[in-house]
């Protein structure tokens, strides 16, 4: 696939990118290798109109800076960058422009490096949706140009951006998914009334069955969730993320007040649970898991409802339910029955070798999944530990 003339012209432009301490960023000095964290002067000095490549893990007050942008979300913040870095060693390179104490625009990128799959830039790994934070006309284009130039200097195989932004010149979708968003700005009764009748019946059935609800943010709750996560992933033939991933979520996200785990319990046994993240006015449903032996109790529906209620009480205006593969009609219908509005999520992948936007394949289900379902549980978990550091 040939790239368009618009992108060809854009990618050849010289974009000045500022490093962590205000120096020009080039191939010999990638982001994250400058010795000292940036000072306020370095960020807000005379070069404030330039685009910079910053490491949010080394900037005190990064989340406060993200909060100054009207479209900033949890996934643009320090907590999520810490989880990805601490678990897999991915290097954050966040292209942005700051004016005074305000973030004008941001394209967050993680450099993923693997002896198996090479080096590439992803915005962001293991993130269903992470939009570029736009600014004034032309800034989004400049942020993409900066990322492409940096990727070329670093020898990336490709740059993948997981958002719906169309300001990347010449970009064509490599993959498309469904997204679902619930409007939380309604009285609780209206919110519950927006659910499909089958969902309302399931929630009442779970309540009548005596299921208890627990909200937690502890490492113990993360460990309980991981056990259910492994059961659910085994059912679907998808290896689980390594446990250290959930340990880091508990430490870097939940303990900082940016998320919670809601669990449904039958006596002392946790039968369903879900993980939610939030920042500002936006919340995200990240993971759900359950013990299929208790499926008849409809605990998943109750857990989702209690998570929705908690997000609304926290003052969130919307809850995003993550991406859904086009082929997964069952999950699509499950989310729609909670009164969610459907949207399109498009990923774009620029291939540096071909100098063109490339197509990808959504391998949501296939023969590999059938093989994973047959693995003994210890090998199944080991597969996740081995594979995920090389995936994005």
Binned average pLDDT, 10 residues per bin, the chain of 392 residues: 37 39 33 39 48 94 95 96 97 95 95 92 95 86 94 96 82 93 97 98 97 96 96 91 96 97 96 97 96 95 98 97 93 96 94 92 74 84 86 80
295 is a domain residue: yes
Phi, psi values for residue 269, rounded to 5°: -100, 130
Q: Which of 308, 328, 345 is the last residue of a domain?
A: 345
368 is a domain residue: no
pLDDT for 376? 86
**Do 237 and 293 belong to one domain?**
yes
Residue count of the chain, please give it. 392
**Do 9 and 146 belong to one domain?**
yes
pLDDT for 39? 42
**Do 139 and 183 belong to one domain?**
no
Q: Say how many C-beta atoms besides its own lie within 10 A of residue 309's C-beta.
A: 16
358 is a domain residue: no
pLDDT for 87? 97
CATH number at residue 12: 3.40.630
Cα–Cα distance, 352 to 354 (Å, whole number): 6
**Do 231 and 132 belong to one domain?**
no
pLDDT for 117? 86
Q: Which of 144, 171, 198 is the last residue of a domain?
A: 171
Beta strands in the chain (DSSP E): 17-18, 51-54, 91-99, 102-114, 118-123, 158-162, 173-183, 212-216, 259-266, 269-279, 282-290, 318-324, 341-351, 356-357
Exposure string of 249-268, with b = 16+ CB inside 10 Å and e = fewer, is: bbbbbbeeebbbbbbbbbee
Residue 249 contacts residue 243 (beta carbons within 8 Å): no
**Do 98 and 245 belong to one domain?**
no
280 is a domain residue: yes
Contact partners, residue 187, CB within 8 Å, separation at least 6: none
CATH number at residue 184: 3.40.630.30
Q: Which of 114, 148, 171 is the last residue of a domain?
A: 171
383 is a domain residue: no
362 is a domain residue: no
Residue whose tokens read 């993200």 = 66
Token pair in block for residue 173: 């979708």
- Residue 365 burial (CB < 10 Å; 0-12/13-18/19+)? middle
**Do 128 and 205 belong to one domain?**
no
**Do 96 and 235 belong to one domain?**
no
**Do 186 and 329 belong to one domain?**
yes
**Do 137 and 195 belong to one domain?**
no
370 is a domain residue: no
Q: Which domain holds residue 242?
A: 179-345
24 is a domain residue: yes
pLDDT for 49? 60
**Do 222 and 97 belong to one domain?**
no
**Do 128 and 266 belong to one domain?**
no
**Do 65 and 214 belong to one domain?**
no
Total number of domains constituting the chain? 2
Q: Say how many C-beta atoms besides its own lie within 10 A of residue 159's C-beta.
A: 23
pTM: 0.86
């Amino acid at each position: 696939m040939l790239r368009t003339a618009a992108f060809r012209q854009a990618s050849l432009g010289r974009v000045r990118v500022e490093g962590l301490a205000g120096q020009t960023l080039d191939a010999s000095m990638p982001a994250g290798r400058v010795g000292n964290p940036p000072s306020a002067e370095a960020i807000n000095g005379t070069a404030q109109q330039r685009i910079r490549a910053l490491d949010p893990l080394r900037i005190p007050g990064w989340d406060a800076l993200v909060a100054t942008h009207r479209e900033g979300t949890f996934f643009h913040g320090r907590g999520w960058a810490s989880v990805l870095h601490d678990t897999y060693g991915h290097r954050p390179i966040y292209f942005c422009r700051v004016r005074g104490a305000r973030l004008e625009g941001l394209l967050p990128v993680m450099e993923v490096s693997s002896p198996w799959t090479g080096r590439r830039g992803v915005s962001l790994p293991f993130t269903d949706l992470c939009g570029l934070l736009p600014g004034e006309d032309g800034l989004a284009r400049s942020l993409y140009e900066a990322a492409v130039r940096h990727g070329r200097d670093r020898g990336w195989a490709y740059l993948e951006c997981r958002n719906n932004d169309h300001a990347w010149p010449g970009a064509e979708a490599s993959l498309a998914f469904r997204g679902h968003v619930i409007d939380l700005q309604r009285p609780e009764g209206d919110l519950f009334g927006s659910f499909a009748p089958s969902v309302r019946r399931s929630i009442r059935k779970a309540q009548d069955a005596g299921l208890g609800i627990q909200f937690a943010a502890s490492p113990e709750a993360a460990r309980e969730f991981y056990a259910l996560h492994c059961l659910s992933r085994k059912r679907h033939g998808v290896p689980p993320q390594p446990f250290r991933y959930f340990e880091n979520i508990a430490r870097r996200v939940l303990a900082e007040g940016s998320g919670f785990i809601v669990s449904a319990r039958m006596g002392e046994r946790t039968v369903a649970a879900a993980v939610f993240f939030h920042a500002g006015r936006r919340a995200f449903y990240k993971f759900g898991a359950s013990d299929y032996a208790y499926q008849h109790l409809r605990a998943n529906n109750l857990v989702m409802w209690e998570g929705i209620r908690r997000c609304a009480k926290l003052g969130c205006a919307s809850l995003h339910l993550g991406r859904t593969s086009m082929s997964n009609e069952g999950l699509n219908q499950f989310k729609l029955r909670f009164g969610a509005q459907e949207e399109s999520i498009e990923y774009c992948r620029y291939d540096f070798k071909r100098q063109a936007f490339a197509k990808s394949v959504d391998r949501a289900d296939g023969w590999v999944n059938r093989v994973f379902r047959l693995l003994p549980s210890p090998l199944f978990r080991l597969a996740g530990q081995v594979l995920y550091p090389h995936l994005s």
